[in-house]
Amino acid sequence: MKRRVAFVVQRCGLEVNGGAELHCRLIAERLAARLDVEILTTCALDYMTWANHYPPGEQRLGELRIRRFPVANPRDVPSFNRLSEDFRGRMGQLTTREEEAWMRAQGPWTPTLFEYLADATDKYDAFIFFTYLYATTYFGLPLVGKKALLVPTAHDEWPIHFGMWDRFFELPSAFVFNTDEELAFLRRRFPRARLPGPVVGVAVEPPASVDAETFRRAYGVDGPFILYVGRVDPSKGIDGLLDDFRAYQASTGDTRTQLVLVGKPVMEFAPRDGVLILGFLSEQQKWNALAACDVLVMPSPYESLSMACLEAWSLGKPALVTARSEVLVAQCRRSQGGLWYRDADEFSAALEFLLRDPSVARTLGTQGREFVRQNYRWPHILDAYSDLIDAVSP
């Protein structure tokens, strides 16, 4: 009989095509060919408000079942931002009760999911929680005891320094880490926790065909462009990217190259020359954009693994990443697939170098593609998850 496994993640759907949520769905979809797999998640689509979007109950994606639970209290964003600002200024002085109140406000708060987990522990052989940072994990994982596995997707951001995490990171039976740098950071942050588990990451798989010209025609992009894929959010470094790109334009006089942003914006934009904001794209459209771009840019200082970099490398595209992220720099070093920058001057110099000498860009992209081929293969990743599930199953 196939082992029965539940993945628990804050939101899930075909419209969620990035971040830990996509990472979770990709793993679950492929494990569903080996095991009886179900995703337990909320009815939310928008990660800012957690407003209910999908109907509660079951949905099928091929072999994969998704079971959704309603969010009881959608997030009041201004109130939550004020609370976060207050708590960030009082780090080290907060009680566990206060920190857990922040986690409830962080959300998504879904009591029916927690009730289901408490009642369903014996129905599953293992529970795999994705992302340490949300209420679905913090309040859900302790309910399933030794059957819990955690994919923390952690990096050095201010909430991980809450004291409540010290106890929490000792609870999972095993972990799955994205990079050696993520594991090293967590060992520094939680020296008393055992943190057993492999460094695995996730594989990426381009569609059977990608069409750069279809993308260019659809969006009127006829010159060189650099591409960002992800949340269009200040926390992802977008403000700095816009400033760096403007500095590049000013220093080089380049008026042809565009910056194209793909992802749902959660910030206000004034029109800027050379900046094209496309919002959410389907998976096929996203891959077409990657095929069309000259360089993928990743300005986010807080990453445990950049799937966008892996996707770009899988198509032979070079990456340009912020040096503020230890993980991104390490990915570029290991792959020899990209460059990194510390400030606007280095951004401008690196981008001009990549655009001026296509042979360098091709070499970096080719090296990145080989790195992905050798290190991010589905059989190895799925075997690692299967072994961990067997280890925690009775």
Q: What is the pLDDT of residues 163-212, one digit of tens each?
A: 999 999 999 999 999 999 999 999 999 999 999 999 998 898 899 999 99
pLDDT in tens, 87-121: 999 999 999 999 999 999 999 999 999 999 999 99
Contacts of 313 (CB under 8 A, 6+ apart): 319, 335, 337, 365, 368, 369, 371, 372
Euclidean distance between CA atoms 295 and 354, whole angstroms: 8
What is the token pair recorded at 70? 């309603």
φ, ψ at 112 (rounded to 5°): -65, -30
**Under DSSP, is residue 107 helix (H, G, I), strand (E, B) or coil?**
coil
Same domain assignment for residues 173 and 27:
yes
Same domain assignment for residues 342 and 225:
yes
Query: Stretch 65-71: mean pLDDT, rounded?
Result: 97
Same domain assignment for residues 255 and 170:
no
Q: What is the pTM of this model?
A: 0.86
DSSP for 49-77, please give it. T--B-SPSEEEEETTEEEEEE--SS---H
Same domain assignment for residues 196 and 280:
no
Same domain assignment for residues 319 and 381:
no
> Does 333 score more than 90 pLDDT?
yes
Query: Stretch 1-5: mean pLDDT, rounded?
Result: 89
108 upstream amide cis, omega within 30 of 0 = yes
Same domain assignment for residues 42 and 118:
yes
> Does 394 score more than 80 pLDDT?
no
Same domain assignment for residues 276 and 164:
no
Domain count, the chain: 2
Domain membership of residue 350 as a residue range? 212-375
Provide the percentage of residues in the chain whose pLDDT is more than 70: 100
Same domain assignment for residues 17 and 160:
yes
Query: Stretch 9-29: mean pLDDT, rounded?
Result: 88
pLDDT at residue 243, as a whole number: 96
Please, which pLDDT band fits residue 324 given cuts at 50, 70 and 90? very high
Please, which pLDDT band fits residue 268 given cuts at 50, 70 and 90? confident
**Under DSSP, is residue 174 helix (H, G, I), strand (E, B) or coil?**
strand
Asked if residues 302 and 235 have their Cβ atoms less than 8 Å apart, the reply is: yes
Same domain assignment for residues 387 and 345:
no
pLDDT at residue 17, as a whole number: 67
Domain of 223, CATH number, reads 3.40.50.2000
Same domain assignment for residues 23 and 107:
yes
Between 234 and 266, residue with greater pLDDT: 234
pLDDT at residue 369, as a whole number: 97
Same domain assignment for residues 193 and 144:
yes
Same domain assignment for residues 55 and 77:
yes
